[in-house]
Structures are given as C-alpha cells and as structure tokens.
Structure 1
Amino acid sequence: MADPYFFGYGSLVNLATHDFPNPHPAQLKGWRRAWRHTDLRPVAFLTAIPDPESQIEGMIAHVPKNDWAALDEREWAYDRVPTTHAVTHPLTHEVEIAVYAVPQGRHTEPSNRHPLLLSYIDVVVQGYLRTFGEDGADRFFASTDGWEAPILNDRAEPRYPRHQQLKPVETEFVDDRLNRLSVSIVQTA
C-alpha cells in the first residue's frame, strides 16, 4: 500500500505550523494558487485552482497511519483532492499524494469585507523563504492570483491562528514584494 502524503502550497510550506514527518520540497503540475473567499470563513485564504499551463512549488509531508483527521480539521474549508501523478518529488517509494482545494463554484473573489490577512501572508512567505529562498518566494508571488484584493494589516494583533514571528529581514522581504505589487493594505480598527 502506498504511503499517504499531502502537498502543501500555502501555510503548510512553513514547517513551523505543523509537525507532519518527512517533509520535502515538491512541484504540483496543472494547478495554480489563488486568494479566494468562501462563506465558510470570514477572510480570504489560498486555494489551489486547476490550470493545465501552471506549476506551483510547495511541500509534501507524510500522513502517518493514513490518519487524515488532524489535517482535515486544519483544512476544513477545503476538499482533499488526489494529485499523486501531478506531483514531482524526491521520494523513491510508492506514495499517494493529495492537495486541499476549494472546488470551483464554492469560492469568490476577496473583498473589503473578506480581505487577505497580512499575518497569513507572512506565514506563507516565511515558509517559502526558508525552503526555497528569495527566488522561490518570488515565484510564490508570481504564481498566485488575487493580489488586487485588500490586505488587512493585522500584524500587531494577528488573526491568523498559526501566525509566526518573522525575522526583520523576512518582514522587509514581504513588505517589499507587496509594495512592488502595489497592493492595498488597510489597517485594523
């Protein structure tokens, strides 16, 4: 029987947010990232969207004993989608890989009422910086749609449940890249 793994493309790339074993950088072909909102959450978050022309980098990690319960709970607003044959990874044994994505038709564009959280962006970019370096983090920004959405600056009081403390150089990187994208950052009330 093949070992179960997940492919993470957002906060799951940041190993400080979970303790799933045997993590490895990987690529998922035929998918793209997008910031989206669903009625299941008050803010926008990342989802993977099928796109035959795209490929995204991320992290695979093992799901011990095929026990998906904790990960399904963490990713409760998503569906778990089999993607084994779309993932390029360094493992040499047989694995089954799934990605979490919100199905088309169950999400909408972010809005002022449902913004992106800066604390969430920080966590994701920190993970990409630590795993893929600055070039990889730049590829994250380039392969993600939805940067025209408003971003709520919640750094002082993070709303993202798995927020992390960034090093000053990481914060500067995030701020610089968001500035290059000319995003709209709104302050918390």
Structure 2
Amino acid sequence: MTGSFFGYGSLVNAGTHSYQNLRPTTLQGWRRHWVQSSQRDVAFLSVTPDPLSSISGLVADVGDIGWDALDLREAAYDRLVLDVEPLSGVAMYKASAAAVSLENLNQPILLSYLDCVVQGFHQVFGTDGVRGFFRSTSGWDTPILNDRATPLYPRAGLLSDTETALVDDHINMVGARIIAPT
C-alpha cells in the first residue's frame, strides 16, 4: 500500500528515517501538545484540533518501507487520514485516546527526544521554524529529563553547538523545567 504521511515531531528529522520525497508544509487547525501514557515511560508529542493554530512539519511518502514499519515506530498512536487541503488523503499519527492518561503520571519529556525534534525543525525550517515549534506546542509544564549525556531516546543524534543553544534558549523561553536523571 502506498501513500504519504505528515510528521510533526521526530519525523521532521530526516536523520531518523529513510522515507522519501520529503516536503515541508503547514497544517492549519491543529496544535501539538505533550501527552503521557500508561503505554510509555516518558511524555511524547501528539496533536489536537485547534482552529486558531497551525503546525509545520514534513509530508513524506511511505514507499517500500510500508505502513507496518511506520505503525510500529508510532506505537501508542492512531493513524488517521486528513481531510483538509492541501493534505487531504495524507495520514497523520495522533496519540490513541485509549493510551493517553488524563492524570499526571509524572512522565518527563526526554531532552534527547526534544533535541532530535528541534534538530529536524532547524534543518528544515531554520531558526524561525524552531521558534514556531515551541510556540505551537503546549504542555511545557511537563518536566524535561536531561539525558543528553546518556540519551534514552533510541533515535538521538549529535547536535551542533548552534542546535544545542537553540534548544536550551527555547526551553528557557517557554519556562520549561529541566530535571536531572536519578
């Protein structure tokens, strides 16, 4: 089965996958937010409808890699098909309602995950894209676990000094709290 998907988090970082025909785009009417789940030990990005917001991301073709591999990567998410132009018919992953906890499970955001996402946004959209990512994402009251020295995120990569400074500056901009590993 062929088709395309819209990635709005780590899938924006082309260094984390081999999908082809990457196309930067903006999706109107959605907002990113951090969620917690009994299916994971850490917070992760999802989306929610928001008529006053928009999010940038990448559209890519699933190609020969196939949906099964992408569904496995996006465990705890449901794949939905967008019906808004210009992305009508494109798939997007949203945290499964059954997986998301409405109570605070005290699950942190991994800094290595955030670094990966911001690196992708910087490479594709530049400094303005990084600012847009932070502004179009809610849930920054979730603590961020500083795991840079020993990354827990499986697709973590090395950041340049510029990218590290961008992440750190924007964490300060949104008032997020960094916690040390235990």
TM > 0.5 fold call: yes
Structure 1 Cα separation of the partners of residues 16 and 65 of structure 2: 20
Match of 1:61 in 2: 60
CA contact (8 A) 2:19 2:65 kept: no
Q: Give a deviation string over 1:75-134, Cα, whole Å, max 9, x none.
A: 011000001x32536xxxxx7310000144642368573110000000000000000000
Q: How does 1:27-42 map to 2 (within 5 A)?
A: 27-42=26-41
Partner residue of 1:92? none
Q: Distance in 1 between matches of 2:43 and 2:105?
A: 10
CA distance in 2: counterparts of 1:153 and 1:167, whole angstroms: 17
Q: Partners of 1:86 and 1:180 in 2: how far apart?
A: 32
TM-score, length of structure 2 as denominator length: 0.92
Is the aligned partner of 1:156 residue 2:155?
no
Q: Aligned residue for 1:178?
A: 171
Measure the CA separation in 1 of the matches of 2:86 and 2:103: 30
Q: 1:143 to 1:109 in 2, by over 3 A?
A: farther
SS of aligned partner of 1:86: coil
Q: 1:137 to 1:87 in 2, by over 3 A?
A: farther
Contact 1:109-1:146 within 8 A present in 2 as well? no
Identity of aligned residues (%): 46
Structure 1 unaligned runs (5+)? Answer: 90-94
Report the Cα distance in structure 1 between the residues aligned to 2:139 and 2:149, rounded to whole angstroms: 24
Q: Is the 8 A contact 1:34 1:49 kept in 2?
A: yes
Corresponding residue SS for 2:127: helix
Would the aligned equivalents of 2:39 and 2:99 in 1 still touch at CA under 8 Å?
no
- Counterpart of 2:94 in structure 1 is 101
Match of 1:72 in 2: 71
Cα pair distance change 1:156/1:111, threshold 3 Å:
farther
